[in-house]
Amino acid sequence: MKLEIDFNTLQSAAIKMGASNKQTKLDSTLSQLSAIDSGLGEGLVLGEDLQLSEIENINSLLSYKGRQIMLYIPEQRSNIEEVIKNGKIKEARRLHVAECGTIEDMRNKGFFDRYQVTNDISGSYPVAGRQHYRGEWIESKAELGVCKNCLRVLNYKGYADLKGDAKQKVFLELKLSELFSTYSSYFKHYPMRSKTIGSYTQDWDKISERYRQQQNYTCEQCGVVLTRYKKLLHTHHINCVKTDNSLNNLKALCADCHSKQPNHDHMHVLHDDRLLINQLRKEQGKFDCSDYQEVLLYADSALEGLLLKCKKYNLPSPELGISVRNGDNFVSIDLAWPRKKFAVVIEKDQIQLLRTQGWTVYLASDCLNNFASMQQMIR
Ligand SMILES: [Zn+2]
Ligand SMILES: [Zn+2]
Ligand SMILES: [Zn+2]
């Protein structure tokens, strides 16, 4: 008896099943993710929608399922009307962004007030409270400030070592979109943007391609040549008007320089891409790491707090763009002090690989939390 099986049909059926399974899985993952994102946007309630134990400490920043988040209490202690007028007064509740003493305390005691969990970076948050004299319950929105202990833990913009007016200025002028983009390398997901981005002209792809070619695929700011990595070179509109394609409004910028332009807080550059750009800058001799100003300019912004501290305490400046061979692969280092074989990294999986190569390796947050011992190891 001859068995006739049409393998092609079977195979294509299998592929279809596999593909559709995958698609359903992807769809349901995506809908779960967007449920988290929209929940966070509206503000989830701690203790109801999620538990304190689900809030992770990612390099000292607060995180929920891979997203950077903030915690705050909408109910104000007093002066609700004052808080609505100015959410940064002393009496107002603060937004916690880091594992500060308050959060640590809550974890230890297992007790917390009515905290909201949010990743809304619009700057305006629902608040409520009882009016002082009339006793009336008021609900409104206020522009709350970020907890100063959180700023100290992160050394955000050098906060911990600033004094007086300069210190208060960091607190008063803080932009949440900027704070979130500073630490974006630590997170896989980024808050949705409420602002709509102006659209490009139809021939934009061609214009951009021609322009970058004319610049020999070279970043007009840092000078890195990206012929082998064309995708990492962007064409930027200097006046931010995306339909103004006149030559003097265009600038070829590598992804790293581009994301550091004013009003580009929304740009999310992958940590690996930033490491690669620094590796290329080093190979091509584009920076001088003996100068802290340059290190601060080219390092991942998530490392700024640590770098400002190193600068303040006159530590020798680190090198950028160093990578170490590990078998057939290379492991990139965010900040390296090669003479001491000391490395600071952003991602945990870099640590073990570098340690097997004889390096002393820490996360930036560990160095900030134990700065005295870091100093001893580097000097
Ligand atoms: Zn705090
Ligand atoms: Zn550049
Ligand atoms: Zn741009």
Give the separation between CA 294 and CA 335, rounded to whole angstroms. Answer: 13
* Tens digits of residue pLDDT in 210-253: 999 999 999 999 999 999 999 999 999 999 899 999 999 999 99
* Tens digits of residue pLDDT in 125-178: 999 999 888 889 999 999 999 999 999 999 999 999 999 999 999 999 999 999
| Cα 144 to averaged position of ligand 2 atoms, centre (Å) | 35
Q: 26 falls in which pLDDT band (50, 70, 90)?
A: low
* pLDDT surpassing 80 at residue 198: no
Nearest ligand to the C-alpha atom of residue 257? 2
Mean pLDDT, range 10-25, rounded to an integer: 46
Mean pLDDT, range 263-284, rounded to an integer: 92
For residue 30, the tally of other CB atoms under 10 A from its CB is 10
Nearest ligand to the C-alpha atom of residue 198? 3
| Cα 99 to averaged position of ligand 1 atoms, centre (Å) | 7
Give the separation between CA 263 and CA 243, rounded to whole angstroms. Answer: 17
| Cα 261 to averaged position of ligand 3 atoms, centre (Å) | 7
| Cα 36 to averaged position of ligand 3 atoms, centre (Å) | 29
Q: 68 falls in which pLDDT band (50, 70, 90)?
A: very high
Q: 29 falls in which pLDDT band (50, 70, 90)?
A: low
Mean pLDDT, range 74-93, rounded to an integer: 94
Give the separation between CA 53 and CA 274, rounded to whole angstroms. Answer: 32
Task: For the chain, give the percent of residues with pLDDT over 70.
Answer: 90
Q: Cα dist. 88→28, 126, 142, 172, 271 in Å?
A: 41, 14, 9, 7, 33
| Cα 72 to averaged position of ligand 1 atoms, centre (Å) | 9
Determine the pLDDT at residue 193: 58
* pLDDT surpassing 70 at residue 13: no
CA angle 257, 261, 264 (to 5 degrees): 110
Q: Are 301 and 182 in contact (CB under 8 A)?
A: yes
* pLDDT surpassing 50 at residue 115: yes
Nearest ligand to the C-alpha atom of residue 221? 2
| Cα 298 to averaged position of ligand 2 atoms, centre (Å) | 9
| Cα 76 to averaged position of ligand 1 atoms, centre (Å) | 16
Q: 84 falls in which pLDDT band (50, 70, 90)?
A: very high
**What's the chain's average pLDDT?**
89
Give the separation between CA 20 and CA 6, rounded to whole angstroms. Answer: 21
Of all helices (H) and strands (E), which one includes residue 129? Answer: strand 125-130
| Cα 94 to averaged position of ligand 1 atoms, centre (Å) | 7
Q: 203 falls in which pLDDT band (50, 70, 90)?
A: very high
* Tens digits of residue pLDDT in 297-316: 999 999 999 999 999 999 99
| Cα 353 to averaged position of ligand 2 atoms, centre (Å) | 28
| Cα 320 to averaged position of ligand 2 atoms, centre (Å) | 14
Determine the pLDDT at residue 12: 42
| Cα 112 to averaged position of ligand 1 atoms, centre (Å) | 13
* pLDDT surpassing 90 at residue 190: no
| Cα 97 to averaged position of ligand 1 atoms, centre (Å) | 6
Give the separation between CA 41 and CA 296, rounded to whole angstroms. Answer: 32
Nearest ligand to the C-alpha atom of residue 265? 3
Of all helices (H) and strands (E), which one includes residue 174? Answer: none
Mean pLDDT, range 282-308, rounded to an integer: 94
